[in-house]
Amino acid sequence: MQPEQAQAADVELIHAIALGDEAALGALYDRYRLILFGLLTRILNSREEAEDVLQEVMLQVWRRAADFDEQRGRPFTWLVTLTRSRAIDRLRALGARQRLAESASRNAPEEASDAVKDTLHSEQREIVKRALAELPEEQTRILILAYFEGLTQSEIAKKLATPLGTVKTRMRSGMIRLRELLGGELKSVN
């Protein structure tokens, strides 16, 4: 399916969910469970917490589908933003940042998805990873700390013992470069 078609199909699913169509919610879950669960496990570093938050997110989608406005953003961005926001809230509630430093196990190879054979996610993952690899390491690190650990600019400055102004500049430069590098490929990242 072409990215534009996929996006239109997602919009239709969200509209159907707003009308109370459970099957549409199931279809949206099937389409995005891997990327959302991947994001949640990366942030929360706990399979149990990630599954719990994934359920909360999908219930929130069910309740808020009518608020979704395709003129204001893409379905993928809406879902991921909602998921990340819930995950960071949970992370803060758990006070679990210390756990991130530990190399807790995420070792469930038998539970890895067969869907990886559907190369959709792996291609998109490669596009983003390739783009991140082109950024200077200090910029990548700041983007990762903000996105996956939910740290604010001043928290990052403190953690890295770097002046706040430098963190702000690196964060913005990193995002500008990332947007340039993803460029037209962003269309396919949905």
Partner 1 sequence: MVHEDYIGMLAAQALGALEVAEVRDLETHLQSCSECRSELSSWEDTAASLAFAGLEEKPLEPSPAVRAHILEAVRAERRSQAAKKTDDAQRQQSSNFVPLQPRVRPATYTWGAIAAGLIMLGLLASLFVLWNQNREARQELARLSEQVRDAQQQLIQQREAIEIVSTPGTKMMELAGTKLMPQAHAMLAYDKNGRAILMAKGLPPAPAGKAYQLWFIAGGQPMPGKVFTTDASGSGSLKDQIPPEARNSAVFAITLEPESGMKSPTGEMYLISAS
* CB of 103 vs partner 1, minimal distance in Å: 14
The answer to whether residue 124 forms part of the interface with partner 1 (CB under 8 A) is yes
**CB within 8 Å of 9: residues ≥ 6 apart:** 1
* CB of 74 vs partner 1, minimal distance in Å: 6
Q: x/- string (CB under 8 A) for partner 1, residues 39-68?
A: x-xxx---x--xx--xx--xx--x------
| DSSP 8-class letter at 189 | -
The answer to whether residue 135 forms part of the interface with partner 1 (CB under 8 A) is no
> Do 18 and 66 form a contact (C-beta atoms < 8 A)?
yes
Segment 73 to 112, residues that bind partner 1, using CB under 8 A: 73-74, 76-77, 80-81, 83-85, 88, 106, 108-109, 111-112
Structure tokens at 47: 């399979």
The answer to whether residue 166 forms part of the interface with partner 1 (CB under 8 A) is no
The answer to whether residue 37 forms part of the interface with partner 1 (CB under 8 A) is yes
Distance between CA atoms of residues 4 and 190, nearest Å: 9
Q: Quick one: which H or E segment has residue 122?
A: helix 120-133
| DSSP 8-class letter at 185 | G
The answer to whether residue 119 forms part of the interface with partner 1 (CB under 8 A) is no
